[in-house]
Chains A and B, each alone.
Chain A
Amino acid sequence: GEDVEQSLFLSVREGDSSVINCTYTDSSSTYLYWYKQEPGAGLQLLTYIFSNMDMKQDQRLTVLLNKKDKHLSLRIADTQTGDSAIYFCAESYGGATNKLIFGTGTLLAVQP
């Protein structure tokens, strides 16, 4: 599959904003996703964006998509200690059998 790259680690203070970045390589992706994984748990879908959109906002989450640069970001406003987890971006072609290609994952550590 195509490589989907993320920075390994991000540390923020509680109450600050967090920005997690993702670079993908396949411009034909239809959907781009952000998943959260807490220690020892499965993956929780946070939000997703269609490839024909530039931005999507969902409560504390803002997703920005730059198709020209193949860059996706997730901004978490007012970050809380409960947001500490690994965040994966993922790209797919959609459809009835949705083959997701996951990014390398970013560990977000929120300091009280």
Chain B
Amino acid sequence: DTEVTQTPKHLVMGMTNKKSLKCEQHMGHRAMYWYKQKAKKPPELMFVYSYEKLSINESVPSRFSPECPNSSLLNLHLHALQPEDSALYLCASSQDNGELFFGEGSRLTVL
């Protein structure tokens, strides 16, 4: 299994809603990542978890809250988002050799 699975594929939420994005991998990778990608732009790193501990937070606003319940799962909890947070959210995982495997992404629209 060489897949990174993200759910949901599409999410529409209001600014007062609380929702979560989920990511799962069964490759035994110990690092997992959240990236944000706006239209026609490159992905931008948000968070990195290594061995289930948060190792990098790229100054992301607190309305985005990551969680790593175990080595196979990564969540991104969303609360009080703004319309400008609408984007494709990409999850990735990697082994120690650094090669990142990306999921298909969750496309988020904030109304």
Contacts and interface: CB of A to CB of B under 8 A. Distances in A.
A42 B56 contact: no
Interface of A: 30-31, 35, 40-45, 48, 88, 92, 94-100, 102-105
B98 A95 contact: yes
A42 B98 contact: no
Given A42-B90, A98-B94, A105 B42 contact: yes
Interface string B69-98: 000000000000000000000101010111
Interface of B: 4, 6, 30-31, 40-45, 48, 50-51, 55-56, 90, 92, 94, 96-105, 107
A99 B45 contact: yes
Most buried by A among B30, B41, B101, B102: B102
30 contacts: A40-B107, A42-B4, A42-B6, A42-B90, A42-B102, A43-B43, A43-B100, A43-B102, A44-B102, A45-B99, A88-B42, A88-B43, A92-B98, A94-B98, A95-B96, A95-B98, A96-B31, A96-B51, A96-B96, A97-B31, A97-B48, A97-B50, A98-B94, A98-B100, A99-B45, A100-B43, A102-B42, A102-B44, A105-B40, A105-B42
